[in-house]
Amino acid sequence: MSIALIIPDRKLDDLQQRLQQALPDTRIEIWPELHDPAEVEFAVVWKQPHGCLNGLINLKAIQCFGAGVDSILADPTLPNLPVSRIVDPALTEAMIGYLDGVVNYYRLQLDVFSRQQQQSVWRPKSPRKLNHIAVLGLGELGGAVANHFYGSGYQVSGWARSGKSLKNIQCFAGEGQLAQAVAAADVVICLLPLTPTTENLLGENFFSTLKPAAIFINVARGAIVDEQALLAALERGALAAACLDVFRQEPLSSASPLWQHPAVLITPHVSAVTNVSTVVSQIADNYRRAQQGSALLNPVDVVRGY
């Protein structure tokens, strides 16, 4: 019996080797070079070509190699099998580290100084007063990020689909309360999953509810944001700046106006990258669970989309 790693365009030697060490009696194969597709019982998947799981007639479960499962669920021919995803303290720590860096970048006005440097301008400024952070999505990552910033001295509000009671975080729920969740925010961080409900959720109306000095950070998925509406909102001064780690189309096209916009900071989807060494044990555990027919760790609700 075997595990197929279906993660195109990525070097998989390290993952293959570590999984092999954890499961010495199981064949670990890199798709599309499979010894016998009928032997594959478990697939570790990221951005799979649509349809590629259908030939695996004995597949028992699908393990997403990241936290967000949108690219996996987008396959219209996805077999009706349990799907699990990565939940990992190391991933959460990486996300917090990235966001801490970005918030401090803006607090210290490094965006302004970087533009001044390009013009050889020497104009000191004191730090921006960033007091209130709003976090959209209060799941594994959003909840930890909200707590982190509260612990660093910020007022924090959060928004989720269902009502939450998180100590010290002012929680809002449902589309009707989105505007309230961000109304007082100096920084808004998006950590929502991409689902049919959240696609294009953050558009003209949303950006109109922000404070004109607000900074928007998207570390979730690009398609949650209407990029044209964001650019228009920046142009009319509905918000001050945006830091984008994720895009509707990745890599971001060299023709995108986002690259050149002075109020946009771009990073190439690096805020929290799955750490092979810390996730191997949960993948191996899920393989054993799938073989035994037990519930997977970190299951995904395929109907809800996250």
| Residues designated catalytic | 221, 269
The tokens for 294 are 């037990």
Q: Which does 137 bind (CB under 5 to 8 A by kind): ligand GLV, ligand NAP, none?
A: ligand NAP
Task: In angstroms, give the least distance from the CB of 91 to ligand GLV.
Answer: 7
Task: In angstroms, give the least distance from the CB of 170 to ligand NAP.
Answer: 15
Task: In angstroms, give the least distance from the CB of 67 to ligand NAP.
Answer: 4
Q: Which does 138 bind (CB under 5 to 8 A by kind): ligand GLV, ligand NAP, none?
A: ligand NAP
Q: Which does 162 bind (CB under 5 to 8 A by kind): ligand NAP, ligand GLV, none?
A: ligand NAP
Tell me how far apart the alpha carbons of residues 144 and 299 are, in angstroms, rounded to a whole number: 19
Calculate the CA 23 to chain-centre distance.
Answer: 29
What is the DSSP code string of 163-229? Answer: ----TTEEEEESGGGHHHHHTT-SEEEE-PPP-TTTTT-BSHHHHHTS-TT-EEEE-S-GGGB-HHH
Q: Which does 48 bind (CB under 5 to 8 A by kind): ligand GLV, ligand NAP, none?
A: none
With CB atoms as reference, the residue minimizing the distance to ligand NAP is 139
Task: In angstroms, give the least distance from the CB of 99 to ligand NAP.
Answer: 10
8 A C-beta contact, residue 300 and residue 64: yes
With CB atoms as reference, the residue minimizing the distance to ligand GLV is 66
Binding site for ligand GLV (CB under 6 A): 66-68, 274
What DSSP element (H or E) covers 22? helix 13-22
DSSP β-bridge partners for residue 225: 202
DSSP β-bridge partners for residue 143: none
Residue type at position 164: K
Q: Which residue's CB is nearer to ligand GLV, number 67 or number 83?
A: 67
Closest by CA to 44, choosing from 77, 10, 93, 76, is: 10
Q: Which residue's CB is nearer to ligand NAP, number 27 or number 269?
A: 269
Task: In angstroms, give the least distance from the CB of 201 to ligand NAP.
Answer: 7
What is the DSSP code string of 244-296? Answer: ES--SSSSPPTT-TTTT-TTEEE--S-SS---HHHHHHHHHHHHHHHHHTPPP
Q: Which does 139 bind (CB under 5 to 8 A by kind): ligand GLV, ligand NAP, none?
A: ligand NAP
Q: Which residue's CB is nearer to ligand NAP, number 28 or number 219?
A: 219
Binding site for ligand NAP (CB under 6 A): 67-68, 137-142, 159-162, 191-195, 197-198, 219-221, 245-246, 269, 271-272, 306
Tell me how far apart the alpha carbons of residues 270 and 299 are, in angstroms, rounded to a whole number: 24
Q: Which residue's CB is nearer to ligand GLV, number 74 or number 213?
A: 74
